[in-house]
Structure 1
Amino acid sequence: MNFYGSFPTTRLRRNRHDAWTRKLTAENRLTPADLIWPIFLTEGENKVVPVESMPGIVRVSVDRAAEHVAEAVALGIPAVALFPYTPVEDRDEEGTGALNPDNLMCRGARALKAAHPDLGLIGDVALDTYTSHGHDGVLRDGYVHNEDTVEILCRQAVAMAEAGVDVIAPSDMMDGRVGTIRAALDAKGLIHTRIMSYAAKYASGYYAPFRDAVGSTGALIGDKKTYQMDPANSDEALREVALDIAEGADMVMVKPGLPYLDIVHRVKTEFGMPTYVYQVSGEYSMIMAAVERGWLDHDRAMMEALISFKRAGANGVLSYFALKAARLLKAG
């Protein structure tokens, strides 16, 4: 039996005729509460430094961080994700800066919590912004060593949580790090600190502008293909997510975004977990470059990309467009 009708009795265009019917029949909605805004911190005082490869995005010093996020808070964006800018000359092979309880991330977290106590803080846990070689872990004979890296990540996660970070987000892709970090947090009584695992993070070409933003351009030795996922693989992503859930992840993430909408959909359908997607720097910069050349309309391209993540099943989106999108959504 045909439950869908046939033309001309059934005209699907009827419900597209007016703006109000399009709103009533929309299957997915985007609100400011669906957005997480990644921000970049830098050393110094009273600094707002543009990121050259990401038009409209800046690095801010800790003393400007609370002011920087104030509009996002007012618009209803529930959380920001923190990333530190570390010049290559301030790094070392072991990424020891990650363990300093007074490092840029920890000072930024304390300042933001003091000014905006209800704003969620998500902290990136990995060593790539602290190592001179640009890898997410420590090198042993030219190879990123899993267990040695995880031991350092646990200490990094505890330091960040103690500074006020609400959600630890391991982006390193080491095996077993979620369970080990969970145990380390619990041992310190940090039972309410959540873990948002970068569960399916691909070895992508879309990360280049981010490396500019955090000071890693030119630092990376080799590539990250031995620990980040192969873009050709889909079933493997489900295995990665399943392991992280079993180890205690409270939320899972897929990264990048638009090229991996199929992964977002499969993860959400398979596990029903709070599932997030990172619209990464390269995705943002591509759209902005086309906008600057007059090839795309900024608002339409931005919103179309963001709603695609919701349509795929994501609970929320980490996006450099978050503030701009929230302004547009609030404007109606």
Structure 2
Amino acid sequence: MRTVAPPEQSISPWAPDLYVKMVLISTDETQAARRYISDWKGIKKFRGVTHYSLLWPDEEIDDLSVETQQLHKELYPEMFRLRETIFAGFRYGWSEKNTFDDTPDHRRATYEKAWAEGGFRFWVSIYKDNLFDGKTNEESYKFWAEKTRARVQDPKERDLLATLQMPHCFGIKRPCLEHDYFEQCNRSNVDIIDIKTNPVKEFTKTGLVLKDGTHHDDLDVGAIATGFDVVTGAEIPPVSSRRGFCDAHMHNWSECIDHIAEHFRKGKMMGYWKGEHEFESEKADLVMDAIPPYLIKDELETVTPFPATDRTMRTTTQHIGELQISSDRSMREWDMI
């Protein structure tokens, strides 16, 4: 949206001679995931049952009693408050040390403690630099590999499941929250196959065939664990949806975006939207609380633009310096509240 403010409406108490020329409103809405199933030859003729986690049935899975559920709900407010103070939103967070601040013995003890307590602690409750430095991350991977390899009996399968050389930074891909996953690989009826070197060639009525010609017959269930496409963008099907600014109905997302953009060009904001569109109160609080304290007063309602090409005006460095000074001052005042 482009607009020019009247001369009497300054956009900032810091720079009374500056006025709004352009406001860019970035609005976006994405779909979370789409199914990702390989197009294996013959999969439709497989007589066994196939399961894919994205197609989970709608029935609730909850074996807690009504009394236990009610007790948990009573704890929600405090739990939700605490999660906002911790990096990962769990009940535990980073150690305030860096990995190599500790001696090898102390570092080992820290890893052992997180490992013994379980959950995602070894992911987001060890040293604060673990996910931000390659060398420190490799140190934690060595510990993980040592613990995991000890759980796998077959040497070849051990090298497939927990390689000595770190394949990628530990924790960058979502860790597996498991209890006895690797122990299941030791069962006599379980084979671990490297499908990167020996992929599935096709399905048969009773099983599947690998690229090297190996047959795996008498399979009852196919659990398709190929994951979800959650990064590159989902394929959004055509939709028919009303627009909250007016009564018009759109039949595809492209048409919808153009139509909403026209409303924004006319100055309408989400406050004009008719019908439900707001976040739940707790999520709205998260957004508001994330606004830096120095934006709570005048700057909450405006921006402070500056022309980067005009050398007679403030430079980028000067502008950032002003923000830093105001931020430091506001943070000190905030800490005293």
Identify the TM-score tier after normalising by the shorter chain.
under 0.3
Q: Which has the higher strand share?
A: 1
TM-score where L is the length of structure 1: 0.21
Kindly indicate whether structure 1 or structure 2 has the higher relative contact order, using CA contacts under 8 Å at least 6 residues apart: 2
Q: Which has the higher helix share?
A: 1
